[in-house]
Amino acid sequence: MFASIHGIADRLARLALAGILVAIVAACSGAVSGPAPVNDPTRITILPGTATAFSGVPMTFVISGGTGSYIVTSSNQAVIPVAGAITGSSITVVPNTVTADTTVQLTVRDSGTTPTATAAVTVKPITINNTVTVTPSASQAASCGTSVCAGGDAEVKVVLALNGAPLANRQVQFDVVSGDFRIITGSVAGVETLAVSGTAVTDATGTARIRVRVLPNATSQTALLRITDVADGAFLQTSFGIAPSAAVALSAQPSTLQFTGTDSNSCSSGVSADVIVSGGRPPYSISSPSAFTVSPQILGSSGDRFTVTSNGTCASATTIAVVDAAGTSTTVSASNVVGPARTTTAFVVSPQSVTLTDCSNTASVALAGGTGSYFGAAGSNLIFVSTAGNFGFIRRQPGDAAGVTTVNASFSDGQSAQSVTVNLVGTAAHQAGGTCP
């Protein structure tokens, strides 16, 4: 019993001495230590014991054990400036700027004789600058100002650099921390793929870019986005405003399309027109009637467009339906009609009289008007008639009989015909007898 009482008294004496030392340290330092959890009076613990920190980014260490009153010192005051008593059981340090990885040791001692504890901190240069730009799409409503409209999108841009030199081909991760928005990670057939995390790679200027989409029903709020340099873990958090968009009616323009064939016997084929869809709540679904080809049939964003192409099928006032995510619909009326009847001028041949003076001579006449398709015929076996384009040609046939001086040639467009008188004179008339070779 005596030994037990003696041990208790000894412990009380040591605690009293520790209290006196705490008071002395507090008085000398001008700081008052608050209550701290004492998990093990015989040992001081600092967590984390090994850490990576970044220039300008706060980092907190939790201390326990010993007497509960602590003094923390840094082995490199130029990098982590801390020396003196702390209040409570934690300390937050903000490393200064470094140009290369720098190791600093934090040492913790208490107001008694408990062995000191240390934490090894590797301070890295910050690679992500504080200039992050969030630029809303130019097509969003002016009423949203610099905030991103509900249902709208924006470009997020950040620059990575080390000691002023841009870091190219560096992977950057973007994470949604809070807010009604998502990161656009891809698009297939006009439908966006949205996620809470996405990556991008910096270009030659050290710039990484992504696009974000605010959810259609988002209310007024501040969104938070975390940006991390994957290579070394440096990160920062940025914020941007989200504004509810004013109710904009669903619209498809132009709302009327008319395709016209080339003539009175056919309707248009292979001719296209674009329709722009805006307002409402994207995405939009587009119907495709059989008389037309519609592509794409799903649009992901306000301001996107679809293409309507005629396929040769005649149709009048065919409805193409446009339906948004809320079930609101509007329509586009498309027609495909025959073209106008062709107007033709009278078929004419000029001149209507030609003369052949010898066996090698060829006469030509101009053909115009009518249907535009011409052919010729000889009214005698003494001549040969042909056509090419808008011209007709007449020449003598070999072996003709002598003494004939006038024959006829005929030209037609398939609907009417014109006659040309062919005069044979001189040697061609064979007045002395004989035939053309």
pLDDT digits (tens, 9 = 90+) for 95-129: 998 888 899 999 999 999 999 999 999 998 877 76
> Of 245, 252, 250, 175, whose CA–CA distance to 214 is shortest?
245
Instruction: Give CA–CA dist 176/140, Å, rounded.
Output: 22
**Confidence grade of residue 358 (pLDDT, cut at 50, 70, 90):** confident
Is pLDDT above 80 for 267?
Answer: yes
Average pLDDT across the chain, whole number: 84
Mean pLDDT of 432-437: 53
**Top-tier CATH class for 128-243:** mainly beta
Q: What is the DSSP string of 151-180?
A: T-EEEEEEEEEETTEE--S-EEEEEEEESS
Is pLDDT above 90 for 34?
Answer: no
**In the chain, where are the structural domains located?**
2-124, 128-243, 251-337, 348-429
Is pLDDT above 90 for 427?
Answer: no
Higher pLDDT, 256 or 1: 256
For the chain, give the percent of residues with pLDDT over 70.
Answer: 86
Is pLDDT above 70 for 7?
Answer: no
Query: For residue 291, what are the contacts with CB-CB under 8 A and spacing of at least 6?
Result: 310, 311, 313, 314, 315, 318, 334, 336
**What integer pLDDT is reported at residue 436 of this predicted model?**
62
Higher pLDDT, 189 or 1: 189
User: pTM above the 0.75 mark?
Assistant: no
Structure token pair of residue 240: 């941007």
**Confidence grade of residue 400 (pLDDT, cut at 50, 70, 90):** low
**What integer pLDDT is reported at residue 13 of this predicted model?**
40
Mean pLDDT of 391-400: 80
CATH of 348-429, one of 3.40.50.970, 3.50.50.60, 3.40.50.620, 2.60.40.10: 2.60.40.10
Domain 2-124 matches domain 128-243 at the CATH topology level: yes
**What integer pLDDT is reported at residue 16 of this predicted model?**
38
CATH code at 251-337: 2.60.40.10
**Top-tier CATH class for 2-124:** mainly beta
Is pLDDT above 90 for 145?
Answer: no
Is pLDDT above 50 for 35?
Answer: no
Cβ burial 25-54 (10 Å sphere, 16+ → b, else e): beeeeeeebeebeeeebeebebeeeebebb
